[in-house]
Amino acid sequence: MIWNQEETLSRKDLEGLQLKRLQAVVNRVYEKVPFYRKQFDQAKLKPSDIKKLSDLKNLPFTIKSDLRDNYPFGMFAVPMEEVVRVHASSGTTGKPTVVGYTRNDITMWSDLMARALSGAGVHAGDVIHNAYGYGLFTGGLGFHYGAERVGATVIPISGGQTQRQIMIMQDFGSTVLCCTPSYALNPAESAKQQGADIRKFKLKVGIFGAEPWSEGMRTEIEKQLNLKALDVYGLSEVIGPGVSCECLEAKFGLHINEDHFLAEVVNPKTLEPVPLGEMGELVFTSLTKEAFPLIRYRTRDLSRLISEPCPCGRTSYRMERITGRTDDMLIIRGVNVFPSQIEHVLMKIEGLEPHYQIIVDRKGTMDELEIQVEVNEKIFSDEMKKLDQLKKKLEYDLKDFLGVSAKITLVEPRTIQRSEGKAKRVIDKRKI
C-alpha cells in the first residue's frame, strides 16, 4: 500500500519540491553550521547560486572524516535544546559518528519507515518482530517508530538470544521479521535444531538491510523462512534505515525517498556525476532534516539509479541493491573483488550452506584469498570424493567469475561464527 501521496508525485512536481527544499537547506546550513559556511566560502559559492537542481554539482562534498572532525555535535544546525535524540555509528577507528534529530526529524523518519513497511504490505494487525539492535544503532528504533506509525504491534526483541526469539516469534504470532539478512538465517537454523519448523510460523514478509546481501541470499532466506524478503537501505548520517526500500510488488530496486533525500551517483575517482543509470558511488543531500542536515554526503556505497517506472505505482527513482562499498573492495593480486561477488557464486552451488568467511592474507609479496564455507549435513557425511568434487567446482566457478583463484576450505556445518547484527564476512590479515 502507498502510504503518502508524495510517493506518487510526477517527476516535474517532485523536482519542483526538491529545488525549493534544496534552496532552503543550503541557506540554513550556511547560516547555522560553521563547517558549511567555510566550505561554501572556499568554493566561492553563495546559497543564492543554487538556482536549479543541477547547480547541486557545484557544492562541495561532505565525507565521514568531516563528521569526526566536528565530533560530537559540531555539525548540528539547531541548539541542543531542540535535539530530542542522538544516534551513533561505531567506526572501526576511534570516535563514532554522531547524528541528531529534532522532534520533527523523528516524525519525518517515522513516516518514511511507515512508507517502507507499508510498501512491504505491513498494516495494523501485523505483529512486527524487530530484531534490529536497539541502542545507538539506528536500526532498532528506526523500525520501532515506523511500526508504531503504521499501527502494527511491535515486539522490540532486539538482537541475540535466538532460542528465545523463536519461542516469542511462534507464541506471539509474528508476521513480519526485521533484522540483518545474515541474522535472519539464525532463527531458521536454531528452530530446526529445536525440532520446530519455522516455515510453518506466521511470518509473511521480512525487511532486511544494514549490510550487503545478494539475490542468492534472498532466495535462500525466502526458502528457509517461507516469507518474502525485501531489501531496506540507509545510513545513520543520512537518517538511518528508510532512505530507500523495495516494494512487495516488484521486489526489485529500492524506492528512494526523493522528496527528503536528493540522490546522486558519482564516479568515485573523478567525483563527476555519471549518466543516469550508470554505476557509481551514491551521494545524498538531506532536504528536510533540521538537526543534522547533510550536503552531498559521499556514502562509499556503490549502486545505480533505475528511472523506469515501477509496477507498484510509486514514481520515485529506485536504486539497485548495493554491490559493495568503495572501501570494501578487495584487491587480490591486482584484481578487484567485492565480497558480494563471492557470495553470488557460493549461493549458486548445491550442497553449500549460506555461511562463509573470506580471509585475505599476504605470503611474501603474494596476496592469498581463502574462502571458508560450510557444507550441508548430507554432503558432510558423504564420501571424501564428493567433498573433493564440490571443492573443485567451487574453485573453478570462483576463478571463472572473479578472475582470481581462491583457496577453498569446506568446513563442518555450524562452525562459522553466526552474526547477531552486521556480519563480518572479511578478515583482511594484510591490514591487521
R_g of the chain, CA atoms, integer Å: 22
**Identified binder of ligand DLL from the candidate list 100, 159, 212, 253, rule CB under 6 A:** 212
The residue to which cell 516469507 is assigned: 227
Q: Which helix (H) or strand (E) holds 400?
A: helix 384-402
Residue 272: phi and psi, rounded to 5, are: -85, 145
Helix, strand or coil, per DSSP, at residue 280: strand
Q: Is residue 361 a contact residue for ligand DLL (CB under 6 A)?
A: no
C-alpha cell at 326: 568503495
**Identified binder of ligand DLL from the candidate list 206, 241, 280, 339, rule CB under 6 A:** 241
C-alpha cell at 363: 605470503
Q: Is residue 263 a contact residue for ligand DLL (CB under 6 A)?
A: no
Q: Which residue is nearest to ligand DLL (CB)?
A: 209
**Identified binder of ligand DLL from the candidate list 47, 240, 268, 351, rule CB under 6 A:** 240
Q: Which stretch binds ligand DLL (CB under 6 A): 137-145, 156-164, 255-263, 287-295?
A: 137-145
Q: How far is the CB of 212 from ligand DLL (least distance, A)?
A: 4
Q: Is residue 235 a contact residue for ligand DLL (CB under 6 A)?
A: yes
Q: How far is the CB of 372 from ligand DLL (least distance, A)?
A: 22
The residue to which cell 562499498 is assigned: 325
Q: Is residue 130 a contact residue for ligand DLL (CB under 6 A)?
A: no
**Identified binder of ligand DLL from the candidate list 127, 232, 263, 342, rule CB under 6 A:** 232
**Residue closer to ligand DLL (CB basis): 141 or 295:** 141
Residue 2, amino acid: I
**Identified binder of ligand DLL from the candidate list 158, 285, 299, 316, rule CB under 6 A:** 299
C-alpha cell at 180: 540483518
Q: Which stretch binds ligand DLL (CB under 6 A): 210-218, 220-228, 309-317, 373-381?
A: 210-218
Q: Is residue 239 a contact residue for ligand DLL (CB under 6 A)?
A: no
Site pattern 88..117 for ligand DLL (x: CB under 6 A): -x----------------------------
**Residue closer to ligand DLL (CB basis): 85 or 192:** 85
Site pattern 372..411 for ligand DLL (x: CB under 6 A): ----------------------------------------
DSSP string, 235-264: ETTTTEEEEEEE-TTT-SSEEE-TTTEEEE
Cα–Cα dist 119/121, whole Å: 5
- 243 alpha carbon, distance to own chain's centre: 9
Sheet strand arrangement including 228-235:
153-155, 127-130, 176-179, 205-209, 228-235, 240-246, 254-256, 318-319, 305-306
Dump strand ranges (E) for 181-253: 205-209, 228-235, 240-246
**Vertex 234: Cα angle to 231 and 239 (nearest 5):** 145
C-alpha cell at 52: 536549479
Which residues of this chain interact with ligand DLL, rule CB under 6 A?
89, 132, 137-139, 209-212, 231-236, 240-241, 299, 301, 322, 325
